Chains A and B, each alone.
Chain A
Amino acid sequence: MFSAVARQLLPAFRAMIVMTLLLGLAYPLVLTGFAQVAFSDKADGSLVRQDGKVVGSSLIGQSFDGLPQYFQSRPSAAGDGYDPLASGASNLGPENGDLLAAIEERRTAAAELDGTAPGQVAPDALTASGSGLDPQISPAYAEQQVARVARERGMAAAAVRRLVEEYTDGRSLGFLGEPGVNVLLLNLALDRASGKAD
């Protein structure tokens, strides 16, 4: 068997080189060229600009911790929170004590911040996402935050709610996945609507 394998090593080596050139260079580079010509915005990561300056990507969430005038993102396990170079989840199991403690801590903080009954806090406000970069929150979590954001900004709740609706993506094709509210785009729109609110 060993000598039979040895006899195939030369074609194996040549085949791997050919495949590397075809699949490892030609294929991705041609597609990159195509993407840059046909879909450059998307191919570059759907970057969001404000006053000509890139402030993030509409696909990658950001942290708004400690700033009550902004809608808050979900808890994140990516690095110190929303670090795109350290994407990932907590991986804590369903019976894990640390996870339970984190959930209760988040519940207390969110209930206090939003003036919600602790039992009513939205589940995605209590749990870290899979990527740690989730750009969205559920419509329920957004609704939970509307009154607070409106108060902090001196805006009418109805106006804030209108913006929330504008930045809510429904299910794809009406039935795929779940609806979600894009937090970064919503907060940018709030800043535009209320003048820079700081």
Chain B
Amino acid sequence: MSDTLAGLLQVGALIAALALCWRPLGDYIAHTLTTTKDLKVERGIYRLIGVDSKSDQRWTVYAASVLAFSAVGVVLLYALQRAQDHLPWSLDLPGVDPALAFNTAASFVTNTNWQAYSGEATMGHLVQMAGLAVQNFVSAAVGICVAVALIRGFVRSQSDRLGNFWVDLVRVVVRILLPLSVIAAVLLIGLGVIQNLSSGTDVSTLVGGHQTLPGGPVASQEAIKELGTNGGGFFNANSAHPFESPTPFTNIVENFLLLLIPVAMTRTFGTMVGDRRQGIAVLAVMTTIWGSLVVLVTTLEVNHHGTALQAAGAAMEGKETRFGEWASALFAVSTTGTSTGAVNSFHSSFTGVSGGGLLFNMGLGEVAPGGVGSGLYGMLVLAIMTVFVAGLMVGRTPEYLGKKITSREIKLVSLYILATPLIVLIGTAIAMSFATPRASMLSPGSPHGLSEVLYGFMSAGNNNGSAFAGLSANTTFYNVALATAMLLGRFVPMILVLALAGAFGRQQKVPATQGTLPTHGPLFIGMLTGVVVIVAGLTYFPVLALGPLAEGL
């Protein structure tokens, strides 16, 4: 079979698998978050937590619950890392340094999973399991909760209540993430991903050298790492590591898992608002952007422009033999489009323009299809902006899903759209202005060096977590600066989305008239795609021109 045919079949199989799961999973998520029935185990958890599952929260209380839960998460994860040398299963590793522990705590609580550390050399099994993997679950759940709260804002009429965060959180974990993770982990174990508590096996190699083969509960963590669009690898090499992804089959399973929930959430949205075409329209925009970037990055990698890549004869630097160029490009686009940040190949060694494409994919705000929950609410915010722009053109009060877009809503939307670019660009500018952070570049004084720093802040501000790993980011400056970028990049948009949900919920639904812009047809899909690309393009074009574009030309 030719490389091209195999590559195309691989992309086709991924799309087919996602299409098969889209409807049942999307509807199941919608059912989970709308049913009034609690499971017995859930009632037990509510009693332990001490919350009344029947009480509905205003948006402010919902937001306060998100913030309180996340703050506690940061503190506990920080403490666990600092104390790891006093705890079991630590593999005799020392406690993690304060700046790195703070960075990692912020990173995992914000669903970013930026890793300034090397997993096998820093984190013992207990921190991996009881710290990092727990945040993989709950940070993903928080994203879904916020997205669902926004949907409820559209659905409800003249209500200041958005649901109960604690109920949403527990249900998402117990009914969605945990069962799916168990299935995925069992599959990965069967395909060769390791799952043990060994502290490492010393071996004499065939020719008398020495290797220590690491151990760990990898498959259980790998499952939720992808499913929750987290991306933090058990090992430094992430999903390129043969113990995390030993075969092309495990690779496509992981690629599928990281797209699964963000894609299915579009069906959840359509089902909950009672008009499934709305969900399909959003999915169409996501698919268009993801598909275009898959074509672009794959073509560039297969043709491997760039001096060193031409010399080698293939873009195989930083890529695994078993994955090759096609599967690496597919994974790279999927991971940067979903806020996952897991990597099966190293983006820094991709062709210059591919690297720019991946940066741009994150710069879109990770809406193609975006992180679990965050992708959907990010896209809905852009949809509101699109309706507003269209309304300006024809001089009508814009509406979306029966809710008016008034000045309050559009202010919140504008703040949302501005928040992340401000964090990314100001962060990059500060880093480039001082000698110490500049010294962390692997390629100082070149466009690639700027790309390394920009990629770092883009990844942190958008809660992606992948890296142009050439940057030596484990310094006090980057640990603190990027942690700040991650926290602001996660919670400022979330609070704005919840405020928006509150504002919509209070409104009465207005019936659609002949003058209402339909938000499910090809016209709207085209306009929304345009707005997504133009907003990000105008924001990031100058800095992309100085970095990856200058390098690729």
A interface with B by C-beta (< 8 Å)? 1, 4-16, 18-20, 22-25, 27-29, 31-32, 34-36, 38-39, 42-47, 50, 53-57, 59-64, 67, 70, 74, 78, 82-96, 99-100, 103-104, 107, 121-124, 126-138, 169, 171-178, 180, 184, 187-188, 191
Contacts and interface: CB of A to CB of B under 8 A. Distances in A.
Given A44-B196, A93-B448, A56 B205 contact: yes
Contacts of B270: none
B343 interface: yes
A98 B177 CA distance: 44
Contact of B237 (A45, A126, A130, A171): A130
A177 B252 CA distance: 9
Contact of A89 (B220, B237, B324): B237
A92 B186 contact: no
Contacts of B442: 91-93
B311 interface: yes
B209 interface: yes
B61 interface: yes
B326 to A, nearest CB: 8
A176 B327 contact: yes
A99 to B, nearest CB: 4
B214 A85 contact: yes
A165 B236 CA distance: 32
A28 B214 CA distance: 17
Contacts of A67: 207
Contacts of A45: 194, 196, 201, 213, 215, 243
A21 to B, nearest CB: 9
Interface string B293-322: 000000000000111110111111111111
A110 to B, nearest CB: 12
* Residue among B190, B192, B320 facing the most chain A CB atoms (10 A cut-off): B320
A94 B130 contact: no
A59 B311 CA distance: 29
6 A-B pairs closest in CB distance: A177-B248, A94-B306, A130-B240, A24-B130, A178-B324, A123-B314
Interface string B25-50: 00000000000000000000100111
Contacts of A177: 10, 247-249, 251-252, 322-324, 327
B21 interface: no
A126 B313 contact: yes
A86 B236 contact: yes
29 contacts: A1-B63, A4-B64, A7-B64, A24-B131, A31-B195, A35-B189, A35-B196, A46-B246, A56-B203, A56-B205, A84-B213, A88-B236, A89-B318, A90-B318, A94-B352, A95-B551, A99-B317, A123-B316, A126-B311, A127-B317, A130-B344, A130-B346, A171-B6, A172-B249, A172-B252, A175-B6, A176-B10, A176-B252, A177-B252
Contacts of A100: 307-308, 311
B482 to A, nearest CB: 17
B72 A16 contact: yes
A55 B203 contact: yes
B349 A91 contact: yes
B527 interface: no
A11 B167 CA distance: 12
A4 B133 CA distance: 28
Given A83-B211, A124-B321, A172-B247, 8 more contacts: A16-B73, A28-B221, A36-B195, A43-B219, A93-B355, A96-B443, A171-B6, A175-B9
Nearest to B41: A22
Interface string B210-247: 01111101011100100000000001110011110011
Interface of B: 1, 3, 5-6, 9-10, 13, 45, 48-51, 60-61, 63-65, 67-69, 71-73, 76, 118, 120-121, 129-131, 133-134, 137-138, 166, 169-170, 173, 178, 181-182, 185-186, 189-198, 200-201, 203-207, 209, 211-215, 217, 219-221, 224, 235-237, 240-243, 246-249, 251-252, 305-309, 311-324, 326-328, 343-346, 348-352, 355, 442-443, 446, 448, 451, 468-470, 551
A186 to B, nearest CB: 11
Nearest to B210: A83
Contacts of B469: 88-89, 91
Contacts of A23: 133-134, 137-138, 173, 178, 224
Contacts of A104: 311
Nearest to A8: B68
B60 A27 contact: no
A47 B447 CA distance: 44
A171 B64 CA distance: 50
Contact of A84 (B170, B186, B212, B351): B212
A8 B442 CA distance: 44
B246 A59 contact: yes
A135 B245 CA distance: 12
Contact of A62 (B121, B209, B217, B236): B209
Contacts of A169: 247, 322
B532 to A, nearest CB: 28
B45 to A, nearest CB: 6
A94 B309 contact: yes
Contact of B134 (A20, A54, A60, A94): A20
A173 B12 CA distance: 14
A137 B242 CA distance: 14
Contact of A187 (B131, B178, B206, B307): B206
